Amino acid sequence: MITRYLGQTDYHDTWTAMREFTDARTDEDADEVWICEHTPVYTLGQAGRQEHILNTADIPVVQSDRGGQVTYHGPGQVVVYTLINLRRSNLGVRDMVVRLENSVIGMLAAHGIEAAGRRDAPGVYVEEAKIAALGLRVRRGCTYHGLAMNIDADLTPFDGIDPCGYRGMAVTSTQKLGILVPREQLIEQLVSQVHEQLSAC
């Protein structure tokens, strides 16, 4: 599995690159994990409804092809895109979702924070507050998109939406939870957990 660190990227450009990679890949091509952070953007999933966007405050909105409703991406949030051949891995979509959730749960557990996934609203939660959002797309038997976890992001833009379609859902970050290790260290810990979860298939 190849890991690529892309730095801060434009959401639409990265989404286009993921689709092109997925359309061009063969069964022999290695799976890839792309790590980045985005300039501020709201993204709507395939089933996303405009009514869940309350006040964009000039932040652009992109209609995406991932699963899920609406979320926000911005600086201080790590995005982990998982370009995985499901057929070769013998994984279903639900398996992928659980493994990605477990990656965040495992990383937080190492810092003494108890977290959990929710089947009715994919993602990772600490008590009732969402710390990581999840959305996948399957094309040609392969996934793209992935997860986004808040580290030290400004959480104010989440007030402009119903996060993942839920009115009033609380959102948190590792910083708010009192995890104050450097951002790069947290990213490395999360990527390690993702590799561990996906190599266990």
Burial class of residue 146 in the structure, from the number of CB atoms within 10 Å of its CB (0-12 exposed, 13-18 middle, 19+ buried): buried
Q: Which residues contact 109 (CB under 8 A, 6 or more apart)?
A: 115
**Active-site choice (36, 142, 164, 201):** 164
The torsion region of residue 14 among left (phi > 0), alpha (psi -120 to 50) and beta comes to alpha
**In the annotation, is 201 catalytic?**
no
- What is the radius of gyration, based on Cα positions, of the chain? 16
CB 38 within 8 A of CB 155: no
Catalytic positions are 164
